[in-house]
Amino acid sequence: MKKYVKYILLKSYWEYEVSRKDLTTLFGVNEKQASNYLAEVRKTYPDAIVYDASLKRYIPGVNIEKALPSKDFQEYLNVTENKGFETYNILPSKPVIPVLLYRLIYKAINNKFSISFKYHSLNSSSTKERKVYPHSLINSGYRWHIRGWEEESQKFKDYTLSRMELEGITLVEKKDDRSNIENDTAWNNEIGIFLIPNPSLSPEKRKIIALDFNMRDGILSVFCKEALMLYTLNSYLVTDFSEKPTTNQLLAIGNLSFISKFLPSNQSK
């Protein structure tokens, strides 16, 4: 399948829209050539995409799933080259994300709208209605999250997609200047984490761990967004944040006095 054909099909499927401008931007072709690409897809795959006059762009047709050999989300990201907004992959994994949910998130992020949904939290036995203005999508390795401004708490937070109830979820076409990504200090602030072999282990084992992680002078320097620090630490299997973790953990935080101010209070002890 030609790249532009796959792009048209996957983009319309996941984002529920594709236009000539999308093609001219990504492939560097003129509008006439972009129109020819769209016409080719409509001829080769009847009713896979249809023109929506009100939106002035193409949307998925009844045969879109038949036309796609694969509807894999990672393939969509690869083909579209992550145009629009960025996604951040910490681990090479393929957690599941429902297409209808992604369409809402995509539209909310690109239009700076909010999403209203019921959320299952570990801190509560019942679901709670949330209204969030998402600005980014995060792959922590085994789950997808959105990060954005939550209206009730008036804070930037992360929400796990799998804990969001799909039934009743709605897009609220209203903007709030406070939700701008530029106001998310933790997202825009980069911090450095120094990981060292766990001091609880023997000197011989610490030498081996230093070799495993290609450490320099016994230190592995990792840089990440402050908001993604816990996800990053988890990707290195660091869940015990004490100076001397249990021997089940290979690594420890070398600059704990600095990092502790970014950790939740119940975890920095």
CATH number at residue 46: 1.10.10.10
Looking at residue 187, what is its pLDDT?
Answer: 97
Looking at residue 268, what is its pLDDT?
Answer: 33
Nearest to 87 by CA among 78, 96, 176: 78
| pLDDT tens sequence across 4-14 | 999 999 999 99
- Which residues pair with residue 100 across a beta bridge? none
Identify the three-state secondary structure at position 168: coil
269 in a structural domain: no
268 in a structural domain: no
Give the Å distances, CA to CA, from 155 to 132, 149, 151. 10, 6, 7
Looking at residue 219, what is its pLDDT?
Answer: 96
- Domain termination site, one of 137, 168, 184: 184
Nearest to 209 by CA among 200, 217, 198: 198
58 in a structural domain: yes
Residues 6+ apart with CB under 8 A from 151: 114, 131, 132, 133, 176
209 in a structural domain: yes
Nearest to 150 by CA among 194, 107, 117, 173: 117
Residue 266 has pLDDT above 70, yes or no: no
Residue 215 has pLDDT above 70, yes or no: yes
- What b/e sequence results for 67-93 when a residue is b if at least 16 CB atoms lie within 10 Å of its CB, and e otherwise? bbeeeebeebbebbeeeeeeebebeee
Nearest to 237 by CA among 147, 157, 141: 141
Q: Number of structural domains, the chain? A: 3
Looking at residue 78, what is its pLDDT?
Answer: 86
Q: Are residues 98 and 166 in the same domain?
A: yes
Q: What percent of the chain has pLDDT over 70?
A: 94
Average pLDDT of the chain is 91
Q: Are residues 219 and 256 in the same domain?
A: yes
Q: Are residues 115 and 153 in the same domain?
A: yes
47 in a structural domain: yes
Residue 149 has pLDDT above 60, yes or no: yes
Q: Are residues 95 and 70 in the same domain?
A: no
Q: Are residues 65 and 98 in the same domain?
A: no
Q: Which structural domain, as residue segments, surrounds residue 251?
A: 189-262
Burial environment of residue 153 by CB neighbours within 10 A (0 to 12, 13 to 18, 19 or more)? exposed
DSSP state of 183: G
- Domain termination site, one of 79, 105, 123: 79
254 in a structural domain: yes
pLDDT confidence bin for 240, thresholds 50/70/90:
very high
Report d(CA 101, CA 90) in Å as an integer.
21
Beta strands in the chain (DSSP E): 49-52, 57-60, 87-89, 114-119, 128-139, 144-150, 155-160, 170-172, 190-197, 220-225, 251-253
Q: Are residues 93 and 176 in the same domain?
A: yes
| pLDDT tens sequence across 120-147 | 988 877 789 999 999 999 998 888 999 9
| pLDDT tens sequence across 65-93 | 999 988 888 889 888 876 666 677 775 55
* Residue 74 half-sphere exposure toward CB, CA atoms < 13 A: 10
113 in a structural domain: yes
Report d(CA 235, CA 127) in Å as an integer.
28
Q: Are residues 72 and 127 in the same domain?
A: no
